[in-house]
Amino acid sequence: MRSGFTPARAGVLIVLLSACSSDSRGPFIACQQDSDCPPQMPMCHPQAKVCVTSIAGQQTCPPMQMCDEAQNRCVPYDPSLPCVRNSDCPRLGVDPPNRILCWLERGICVNCITDQDCLAPKLCIQNLCQLVIDGGADGETGDGGVDDGPSGADGSTP
């Protein structure tokens, strides 16, 4: 019978143990699921099976902090880093609140990438959800047919 403990798990465990803080039960807390972990380390790392402060891709850090993927702990937020997933957006102090999607190719937060990201009848134009009015090209809207009123699901404007 195989134990399930591999060299890869050993490496992950070593990195995680160096990042874990102590509590009354020792330098790390073994776990099988998140509910086994205390509030100050609410995540059970799926490979190492120890409690950690954060896991990359899951939002467990408080405002103005982000997950350090190497140490699985929350660190001060760095707004100069590019986004790598939608949960990175909006970047506090950098993006308006309606920039909720990460455009991976450019590492920036945008309002939309495709028309499907917008609430109908709006379309994604230059990464902003905008209402295109029929006949606008002949001057009805005065701006080439684009009404750049509220753009996001939250009603915010760009």
Residue 154 to residues 68, 72, 110, Cα–Cα distance (Å) = 30, 32, 14
Q: What is the pLDDT of residue 135?
A: 52
Q: Where are the domains of the chain?
A: 7-76, 86-147
Distance CA 106, CA 67 (A): 21
The arithmetic mean of pLDDT across residues 129-141, rounded, is 61
Distance CA 117, CA 122 (A): 9
Q: What is the pTM of this model?
A: 0.48
Residue 1 CB neighbour total at 10 angstroms: 3
Q: Are 65 and 76 in contact (CB under 8 A)?
A: yes
Q: What is the pLDDT of residue 116?
A: 95
> pLDDT, tens digit, for every residue of 81-130?
888 878 778 877 788 899 999 999 999 999 999 999 999 999 999 999 99
Q: What is the pLDDT of residue 109?
A: 93
Q: Are 21 and 28 in contact (CB under 8 A)?
A: no
Asked which of 6-10, 12-16, 40-44, 60-64 is least confident by mean pLDDT, the reply is 12-16
> pLDDT, tens digit, for every residue of 46-69?
888 999 988 877 767 776 778 888
The arithmetic mean of pLDDT across residues 31-54, rounded, is 90
